[in-house]
């Protein structure tokens, strides 16, 4: 069975205040006021055939306020949403918007 795994960040599916290096592996937050929330998605979705999926991130700088959320969201989640996982309870009956963070 052939399927494609996520391998990098998607340079075309991200919030405004994010820059991604040429490898697609390093992300920088670019809001000088350290106020705007951002969302970034991987270059490929996690295939349902995986059953179990694992990933790691390393946070090098937590910023001024230290507010960081890491989680999963679907393509249907709004990239401009503050933090997609925060409204999971409201969306739990709508399968298209499932996310957690």
Q: Which two tokens stand for residue 14?
A: 């991200």
Helix, strand or coil for residue 13?
Answer: strand
Q: Which helix (H) or strand (E) holds 91?
A: helix 88-91
Exposed, middle or buried: residue 3 (CB in 10 Å: 0-12, 13-18, 19+)? exposed
The answer to whether residue 82 scores a pLDDT higher than 70 is no
Exposed, middle or buried: residue 80 (CB in 10 Å: 0-12, 13-18, 19+)? exposed
Determine what percent of the chain is predicted with pLDDT higher than 70: 78
**Over the stretch 54-75, which tens digit does the pLDDT of each residue have?**
888 898 988 887 778 787 877 8
């Amino acid at each position: 069975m052939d399927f494609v795994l996520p391998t990098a960040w998607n340079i075309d599916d991200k919030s405004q205040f994010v820059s991604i290096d040429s490898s697609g592996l390093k992300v920088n937050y670019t809001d000088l006021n350290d106020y705007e929330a951002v969302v970034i998605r991987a270059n490929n979705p996690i295939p349902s055939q995986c059953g179990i999926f694992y990933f790691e991130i390393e946070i090098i700088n937590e910023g001024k306020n230290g507010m960081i959320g890491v989680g999963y969201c679907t393509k249907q989640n709004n990239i401009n949403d503050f933090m997609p996982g925060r409204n999971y309870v409201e969306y739990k009956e709508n399968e298209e918007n499932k996310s957690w963070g």
